[in-house]
Amino acid sequence: MKKNEISINDAKSISKLVVDLMLEKKATNIKLIYVHKLTTLTDIFIICTSDSDPQSKAITNHIRDNLAKINIKPDHIEGFQFLKWVLMDYINVTINIFNKEYREYYNFERLWADAKIVSIEKSKES
């Protein structure tokens, strides 16, 4: 499936694209949390850590702009004003971009410990 053929309802394809976009902006500690069996909030949470506010802004803008190019727009974005924890809600996929302090404090993985959690390793060329 090509990028421009992704449906808003195709959570797995959107997630793969989002992970690639996060890696392009050097996000770290990326995890996919499959919660579709546990909640109706979303199907997949994608979380990552950024090293700075400018990096959080860059990751957020990169994801938003690239998904918009294929007509996938967020239902809403929260936290962009402060950049400590940015939440991007694409209904079936919810993206959380944390700074290190907030990621540690909220320990998002613990909240969803019953879900399948997949860690994404950086590619070798990173």
- What is the DSSP pairing of strand 85-89 with strand 93-99? antiparallel
What is the rounded (10 degree) CA torsion for 65, 69, 94, 103?
-30
Task: Give the mean model confidence (pLDDT) for residues 100-106.
Answer: 96
Does any domain span residue 125? Answer: no
Task: Give the mean model confidence (pLDDT) for residues 1-10.
Answer: 66
Tokens coding 31: 């995890």
Q: Tell me which residue has tokens 């090293």.
A: 51
Total residues belonging to the chain = 126
Q: Please indicate, yes or no, whether the overall pTM of this predicted structure exceeds 0.75.
A: yes
Does any domain span residue 35? Answer: yes
**Per-residue pLDDT tens over the stretch 58-92:** 999 999 999 999 999 999 999 999 999 999 999 99
The one-letter amino acid code at 3 reads K
Q: How confident is the model at residue 122 (pLDDT cuts 50, 70, 90)?
A: confident
Q: Tell me which residue has tokens 């499936």.
A: 1
Does any domain span residue 126? Answer: no
Q: What is the CATH number of the domain that holds 65?
A: 3.30.460.10
- What is the DSSP pairing of strand 28-34 with strand 116-120? antiparallel
Q: How confident is the model at residue 125 (pLDDT cuts 50, 70, 90)?
A: very low
> Which residues form the domain of 115?
3-120
Does any domain span residue 93? Answer: yes
Does any domain span residue 96? Answer: yes
**Per-residue pLDDT tens over the stretch 10-67:** 999 999 999 999 999 999 999 999 999 999 999 999 999 999 999 999 999 999 999 9
Q: What pLDDT was estimated at residue 124?
A: 42
Q: Residue 81, exposed/middle/buried by CB under 10 A (0-12, 13-18, 19+)?
A: exposed
Query: What H or E segment, with its residue span, contains residue 89?
Result: strand 85-89
- Number of folded domains that form the chain: 1
